[in-house]
A and B are shown apart, each in its own frame.
Chain A
Amino acid sequence: MRFDVALVLSYLPAIGWAAITTVGLWIVALVASIVIGLAIAVIRLHGGAIVNTVLRLLVEAIRGTPFLIQLFLLYFGGPFIGLTLERLPAGLLALSLFGGCYMSEVFRTGIRAVPRGHIEAAECVGLSQMQILRRILLPEMLVLVLPAGTNIAVGLIKETAVLSVIGVPELTAVISGIGSETYAFVEALTLLSLCYWALVEICARLGRTAEQRLSLYRFAA
């Protein structure tokens, strides 16, 4: 066996598309996760007891089971309850829900860590609940949760690989497919790990830079 770089390189366009797919999946799922996570966190802090219990059960079910099982339930189980989604929307929905539940826990902790005094001060100067949420709670909380949020974001990049199991044409599916087509499986796997490693390192570094920049605005310990 030899390390046939040239062979792998001839598949560069296909690999490029797969990389774009992976990054695209990740960005869309990440944005959706943040939105879902924020919604769950805020509703759980301000909603009634029943809503809170329902959401808590949802979050615990998602955080308590492997992503692969959730994906299978949605994709293969869905059609039996009248929910037949294509691979891409099914993958994105599962990934966003998964990320959103993890994000919601981080946001909840973050919101609780915002000093009481800041909120009381805002109430004193006459800000409404909505204004407090938008101007005090969320911005302060976002700075606080950046490190934990970055971890989840990085985790989501790697979770996109699981979508290869239902055949979403992302990096893992495409590169391992090329690997078995050309009998260069080991080369393909090596390339695949380098791709993910680079993506994850870039994302983690961006997160750290943002953390340093924003540490100026970190009010609470």
Chain B
Amino acid sequence: MRARLILALAATLSLGMAAAKADVLSDAKKAGELKIGTETEFAPFDYIDAGDHTGLNVDLFSEVGKELGLKITWVALPWDGVLPGLEASKFDMVAGPAIITKARLERYVFSTPIAEATVALLKKKGDNSVQKPEDIAGKTVGGGRASSQLAQLKTFAATLSPAPTVREYGGSNEAMADLAAGRVVGISQSLPNAAFAAKRRPDTFEVVMPPFGTKVYFGYILRKDANSASLVEAINGAIMKMKGDGRMAALQKKWFGLEFETPAAITDPAL
């Protein structure tokens, strides 16, 4: 009986998603809302400040929402559930943002890049044992589960001797708490995140320069199917317009403290 039920379950799974869906953008227009999945532990993009969801994503998508005539509805999940959620059509797209990598491009479509994402180490303020990235050899470091920042840290760690221990965290809040508590000497974060953390908590955190990762970019993620094509175009159109009229530069200034150029599209990322 039990074996048969498990078989039936497996069979149902293998049947997969047969139902075809209509165009994502026109569905969103019909409902009047665009559902965006994200992780609210990714300052300065998405984070909770004294109970309110805030960050660059909130500002940026409120502009995008105006451009497209859509209300933005946020769905906040732990990061390792966000991409599975996108694939299960829990929401129309993912904010994040995420690092544009070759592997992810095979599976998803990225929006035009919105920031540099080169990975660096964040350390505890005043920790003299870590002056440069290579100093983590033999120590314990951490990164967020299912993130490219963690994957890059692991690759970097493998080049060091003795190899550092790499810990995985469910979210960067927990990783930062452990860094503050001294359980790890460094955590891997993209420069905008690390710089923001160090600016917000100058007595607690400090960025280890130079970044150990190669130059990569952040983008928003959409599904790679025909139904999402028109949404990809609309999102890119709105963001490109913001890049052109200075709104993007103003957002970068507000959240990163500086403006920088981002290419229109990444087709061949370094990773």
Q: Give me the interface of A with B, judged by CB distance under 8 Å.
A: 1-3, 76, 79, 84, 86-87, 164-167, 169, 173, 176-177, 179-181, 183, 185-187, 190, 194
Contact = CB atoms under 8 A, between A and B. Distances in A.
Contact of A3 (B10, B83, B88, B169): B10
A181 B146 CA distance: 6
A173 B14 CA distance: 25
A2 B15 CA distance: 7
B181 A167 contact: no
Nearest to A174: B168
Interface in B167-189: 167-170, 174, 177, 180-183
B13 A186 contact: yes
B176 to A, nearest CB: 11
A177 B183 contact: no
Contact of B83 (A84, A165, A183, A187): A183
A26 B180 CA distance: 29
A3 B107 contact: no
Contact of A180 (B84, B169, B177): B84
A179 B84 CA distance: 9
Contact of B14 (A2, A76, A169): A2
B13 A180 contact: no
A5 to B, nearest CB: 8
Given A164-B170, A180-B83, A183-B107, A79 B182 contact: yes
Interface size for chain B: under 10, 10 to 19, 20 to 34, or 35 or more residues? 20 to 34
For the complex of A and B, 9 pairs with smallest distance between CB atoms: A185-B84, A79-B181, A180-B146, A3-B13, A180-B80, A3-B14, A1-B16, A76-B177, A167-B169
23 contacts: A1-B87, A3-B14, A76-B181, A84-B182, A87-B167, A164-B170, A165-B170, A165-B174, A167-B168, A167-B170, A173-B145, A173-B168, A177-B145, A179-B84, A180-B80, A180-B146, A183-B83, A183-B107, A185-B87, A186-B84, A187-B13, A190-B9, A190-B10
Given A76-B181, A86-B183, A177-B168, A166 B84 contact: no
Most buried by A among B9, B16, B84: B84
Given A1-B87, A183-B83, A166 B17 contact: no
A190 to B, nearest CB: 7
The majority secondary structure among interface residues of chain B is helix
Contacts of A194: 6
Given A1-B16, A177-B145, 16 more contacts: A1-B17, A3-B14, A76-B174, A79-B180, A79-B182, A84-B182, A84-B183, A86-B183, A173-B170, A176-B80, A177-B80, A177-B146, A177-B168, A180-B84, A185-B81, A185-B87
A164 B17 CA distance: 30
B183 A2 contact: no
Interface of B: 6, 9-10, 13-14, 16-17, 80-81, 83-84, 87-88, 107, 145-146, 167-170, 174, 177, 180-183
Contacts of A187: 13
Nearest to A164: B170
Contacts of B9: 190
Most buried by B among A2, A84, A167, A169: A167
Nearest to A1: B16
A155 B174 CA distance: 26
Given A3-B13, A79-B181, A167 B80 contact: no
A33 B204 CA distance: 37
Most buried by A among B13, B16, B180, B182: B13
Contacts of A181: 146
A176 to B, nearest CB: 6
A86 B9 CA distance: 39
A86 B183 CA distance: 7
B86 to A, nearest CB: 11
A202 B140 CA distance: 37
A166 to B, nearest CB: 7
A1 B86 CA distance: 13
Contacts of B6: 194
A167 B174 contact: yes
A111 B174 CA distance: 42
